Structure 1
Amino acid sequence: MNNMFNPKTHPEWVRPHSIEWYAQLGSLTGQYSYPWKSTITTPNGEVIFANEVALMVPGMKVLDIGCGHGEFALQWTPVAKHLVGIDITEDFIHQGNQAGRSNATFLTVNTKGRLPFDNEEFDCAYNRRGPTSAYLDAKRIIKKGGKLIGLHPGDRSTSGLSELFPELYEPSPIGKPILDNLTERLKEGGLTQAEIETVRSMEYLHEPIDIVKMSVYGQKPLIYEMVLQESMSEITQIFEKNATERGLPITFERYIVRVTI
């Protein structure tokens, strides 16, 4: 185990989910989509969230916070009145606008400032693994009585991987810092009536290569290749020792935020 390469020690490693990381991911792939293969048991947070968004958006002017390359948003254009997607990564926004939907607009926006929209401009909004900073101004731009639904990774997501692959994965945090931050953001934004549900299920990674793809997601190809070269044999041994017929089981946890403005 001690011989496994730690990609975070590479000088070109970029901190995941930083602005620089998103920009790099955008330039490398043009989209925010996971490259690893897995099966997630149901019910799970992703499915529950998508079902609730599907019920919320028909006939509405909708805001997608942290839209990525727009794949999730674009599926609602046949039923939504108008959809606006915002993201900080220009390459993602370009991809969304390339779809050319007449009732969809994608804008490059940094949610850490005041959002560039009028008061009560939107009927509803959703935040699918997007920035929690948007909650600070969300109340102003959504109509009274409108709904806001959020989906965020749980503090116990990928739990178990750090024990098996400590060089590739950080241990689960002490306490619940993601939930604490989420709660604080909602409070700061005046969304005191928000409900937060924790939904936990299991994810099964299909093959040893998926361990690598998840651990270096968004990094440069040279880092991915180095992990393969230095550690793939050991990763495969550990995977095969701990996997079931469905794959290697890890915790899949999501927080779902529900607010009526």
Structure 2
Amino acid sequence: MTIKTCIFDAYGTLFDVSAAARQAATEPAFAQIADSWATLAQDWRQKQLQYTWLRAVTGAHDDFWQVTQDGLDWAMEAAGLQDQTELRQRLLDLYWELAAYPEVPAMLRALKDAGYETGILSNGSPKMLAGAVESANLGDTLDAVLSVETVGVFKPSARVYDLVGERFGTRKSEVLFVSSNGWDAGCAAGYGFVTAWVNRAGEPIDRLPWRPAHVLTDLQPIPEIAANA
């Protein structure tokens, strides 16, 4: 088996989705979340994902920016912050500037130097992804940024995973797909990709019919995995 293309989920995989709440919590204007930002970030992310699944199942698609706002509104109400309009706007603004995880730039550069094609496959809308890639200065290490908006349904629809072959012309077995979401890595394995789950939080593996081939704590091993897959 030869890997030719390395594809990454974006949010939580390359970009730290907790960074917006963590940054806001350090700013004097938003001291009210100084001790609770981690719970706010976790609830925001969980609802964001849940709403993508529900929209995919029901066919009620909307873009990821709307889903992101809906998830934040739920999380803020759960925290008793629903009237904090300035905080809400600050969190949304910061979401366009999410930091990449520390190992990401060097990992992507190593893949490019080794001759692999690289790309993002994300639920994110094209504008959101462009903003994140630009903010993290990753543009020169990515060959493509693929959004589910092309097909109008969220992961884990096979129509989303199909975008990789359509763009790169690779067979499923030639793709290493990397995600921080266990369900995404599992479903992509069922689709036929070689998959790696970046399990930064040490969570149990999802009970699905398929399992990722590799489970990692960060992205540093990806070039070696690609070379030996």
TM-score, scaled relative to structure 2? 0.38
CA radius of gyration, larger in: 1
Q: Which has the higher helix share?
A: 2
Q: Which has the higher strand share?
A: 1
TM-score, scaled relative to structure 1? 0.35
